[in-house]
Amino acid sequence: MTIETTVTPGPRTFEMELTAEGGDIDELGHVSNVVFVRWVLEAAKAHSRAAGLDYDAYMRLGAVFVVRRHEVEYLLPAFAGDRVRLVTWVESWRGATSLRRTRVLRAAGGAELARAATTWAFVSTVGGRPRRIPADVATAFAVGA
């Protein structure tokens, strides 16, 4: 999979593009639903790295984000060779959780293929208990869309 990333000006959205590959295709001949979920996760991780919060940064904080809930609405299929653009942003913060939105678009023409809402929980790396999200972490992402 080839990934290109850009951070767009204005609202704190993050964009990346990738190409669906042969291994992403299911027995029905289109990109598997599981692959769409993987793309949503990859976009979130890439956005975090672009915000200055990579794995090592989270280890220094002693806490990481883990998925609590995914909601994905599949609108149109993608096929091998399709170039797709993922647009993601953190919509809200609350205590130890955040809500991230992601749109999956066909790069050529911009047709929306899927949209996702992911609830992330910020948990301690020791014991896995929820921790309040530090203000500087929230500020790194800002809120927008």
Residue 51: which pLDDT band, with cuts at 50, 70 and 90? very high
Give pLDDT tens digits for 10-19: 348 999 999 9
Distance CA 127, CA 82 (A): 42
Which of the four pLDDT bands, split at 50, 70 and 90, describes residue 94? Answer: very high
Contacts of 11 (CB under 8 A, 6+ apart): 89, 144, 145
Percentage above 70 pLDDT, the chain = 90
pTM over 0.85: yes
Q: How many CA atoms lie within 13 A of 52 on its CB side?
A: 8
Query: How far does CA 20 lie from the centroid of its chain?
Result: 16
What is the rounded distance in angstroms from the CA atom of residue 103 to the CA atom of residue 82?
16
Contact 88, 47 (CB under 8 A): yes
Per-residue pLDDT band at 143 (split at 50, 70, 90): low
Residue 108 Cα distances to 3, 77, 78, 100, 126, angstroms: 16, 14, 12, 24, 45
What domains can you pick out in the chain, each with its CATH number? 3-141 (3.10.129.10)
Rounded Cα distance between 42 and 120, Å, is 14
Residue 135 has pLDDT above 80, yes or no: yes
Lowest mean pLDDT among 5-9, 20-24, 121-125: 5-9
Are the C-beta atoms of 67 and 119 separated by less than 8 Å? yes
- Distance between CA 5 and CA 113 in Å, rounded? 19
